[in-house]
Structure 1
Amino acid sequence: MQNTLFLDAAFSRPTPRPPVWMMRQAGRFMPQYWEIKNKYSFLEMCKTPEIAADVTMLPVDLLGIDAAILFSDILVTGEAMGGELSFTQGVGPRFANPVRTAADVDLLETDVIDRLQYVADAIAVIQQRLGGHIPLIGFAGAPFTVMSYLVEGGSSKDFKTTKLLLHNQPELAHRLLAKIAKVTTDYLNLQIAAGVNALQIFDSWALALSWNDYEEFSHRYIKEIIGGLNRQDIPVISFCKGSSVFAPMMAEAKPDVISIDWNADLLNVKKTLPAGIAVQGNLDPHILYADKPVIKQQIHKLFERMRGENGFIFNLGHGIMPDIPFDHVKYAIEVVREFSY
């Protein structure tokens, strides 16, 4: 690997500057993304290895980031299990057959890794194009987040149907989560075998849960997944919205990195974590709307706060919003790359 900054930081080794990549770094804020998106459906983009590679490479070629992340979606596991998945502009993901009953859970399949082979094929194409220049991050959705889409039938503001399932039928919820966890473990191991250099688990909607519910319905399954990975020399990043609250518990699952949202002081969080667990984050993505001097000031403020700390990967507290100016994202990455401790 020519650029080892990201892997060094993920394993809490010293780095001359923080490495940088950004969640949703290949996405809707890029005109070049829309040139591709206007020709294909979202699922076509995910399922065609050459197109997935084209999109994955956009921030590599245009932004100069220190790690690429596979272009895919967290819901491909739910589709592989039997969910009828579609994406509609302005609506987002939908499952036409929501999972609400014991019979619905029984219908979901778990021996489905062959249905995700297109992801392994995309990884092979991407690694060929990267040529060992920077690492490639693979990923999957955490069981609770994937479950919420399957149960709600799509996005939700209050997760009412999902929470009713958790509270009224906890045994059924655990059956569903166990199935998703099994598929997720297999899927991430498929990505490792295909050649990814790191993994991130996205629990995008964990913030909907109380502390006790997070422990019972999310954390235990992430712990199970991480424990089942063939992770030698492959750092694992755990991310959730709510990580500023849940980080102490997240550490118990033994990830290499915890990605922190922007609601906490990053150094304070790091000091509460066991030695050897790195942190990733945690710039508020809304700062990228601001004027460039403000962007630079805020990045430098974070870097000065983290000065002297090994195990720090610069990222946003969540993904880039679609209408953030491309030029501002590029500038932010330049600020990071020019910094040195």
Structure 2
Amino acid sequence: IRRALNGSVPLIGFAGSPYTLACYMVEGGASNDYRRIKRMLYERPDLLHRILTVTAQAVTAYLNAQIEAGAQAVMIFDSWGGSLSAAAYQEFSLAYMERIVAGLTKEKAGERIPSIVFTKGGGLWLEQIARIGSDAIGLDWTIDIGEARRRVGDRVALQGNLDPGVLFAPPETIAAEARGVLTSYGAGGTGHVFNLGHGISQFTPPESVAALVDAVHMMSRVKAGNDA
């Protein structure tokens, strides 16, 4: 991913996963129990599969349009897939993200366009996610990134996975927590894109974000020097 972005500030395309988008369609908004979407899943799986098929086609076209407009990498964000059972996740979420990845533009103007797949709560299924053809897996904060690296090896890069709540702490705590993520990932290789483990809160102080960026840049320079 780093090579594909050529050291520039990346422009990353974004879309929700078919299952997450279907949740919002069926539930009508956020949900605590996913009652409506799960009722459809078990009572009318044919109907849900139809919704997911159409949505996957739309998401593929949408991400490819972003690539055509200049996106240097694209990410599929599966916020609600982690609420599913293991079998249902494979059938109703992961399978449709795999379709999208297969249909993405992989190269533009001679440059590789990496794809990232993120499922909140998807740590149980990292091996399966790593097999769908994306270049990277986004991790939420509930899994140790070192463990994730051991499980997927060099099949994919890893993105993540600082708890966004850390950004409400003092700068020294933010730096310490960021160091913990980098230390857990370990030395060697360039397959880690540091990021939060989910979306940032709108209440996050901007100066906390600046403190995190500065800390990661500093520690990454030190790590690069030690690896050289």
Compute the TM-score of the two structures, normalised by the length of structure 2: 0.90
**What amino acid does structure 1 have at the position aligned with 2:121?**
G
Whether 1:318 and 2:193 are equivalent positions in the alignment is: no
Please give the root-mean-square deviation of Cα atoms over the aligned residues, in Å: 1.7
How far does residue 310 in structure 1 lie from its aligned partner after superposition? 2.3
Q: Once the 2 structures are TM-superposed, how far is the Cα of residue 337 of structure 1 from its aligned partner? A: 1.3
Partner SS state of residue 74, structure 2:
strand
Residue in structure 2 matching 1:159, options 22, 30, 34: 34
Query: How far off its partner does 1:243 sit?
Result: 2.5
**CA–CA distance in structure 1, aligned partners of residues 67 and 202 of structure 2:** 30
CA contact (8 A) 1:7 1:235 kept: no
Residue 140 of structure 1 contacts residue 200 of structure 1 at CA under 8 Å; is this kept in 2?
A: yes
Identify unmatched segments of 5+ residues in structure 2. 224-228
Flag structure 1 segments of 5+ consecutive residues without an equivalent: 1-5, 14-65, 67-132
Q: Which residue does 2:90 correspond to in 1?
A: 215
Determine the structure 2 residue equivalent to 1:266. 145
CA shift digits 1:280-324 (9 cap, x unpaired): 001111111111111111111221222224200100110111212
Matched, 1:254 2:133: yes
Shift of 1:274: 4.8
Larger RCO, structures 1/2 (Cα 8 Å, 6+ apart): 1
Q: Is the 8 A contact 2:17 2:97 kept in 1?
A: yes
The answer to whether the 8 A contact 1:144-1:217 is kept is: yes
1:173 Cα shift? 0.7
Q: How many residue pairs were aligned?
A: 216
Displacement of 1:176 after TM fit? 0.8
- Mapped pair 1:145 → 2:20: yes
CA distance in structure 2 between the aligned counterparts of 1:194 and 1:157, rounded to whole angstroms: 36
Pairwise CA distance, 1:7: 2.7
Task: Name the SS of the counterpart of 1:310 in structure 2.
Answer: coil
Structure 2 contact 129–137 (Cα < 8 Å) conserved? yes
**Secondary structure of the residue that 1:313 maps to in structure 2?**
strand
8 A contact 2:63–2:104 mirrored in 1: yes
Q: Is the 8 A contact 1:205 1:241 kept in 2?
A: yes
Residue correspondence of structure 1 range 1-341 to structure 2 within 5 A: 7-8=2-3, 133-232=8-107, 233-306=112-185, 307-339=187-219, 340=221, 341=223
Percent of aligned pairs with the same amino acid: 38
Q: CA deviation at 1:143?
A: 0.2
> For residues 271 and 309 of structure 1, what CA distance do their matches in structure 2 show?
13
Bigger Cα Rg = 1
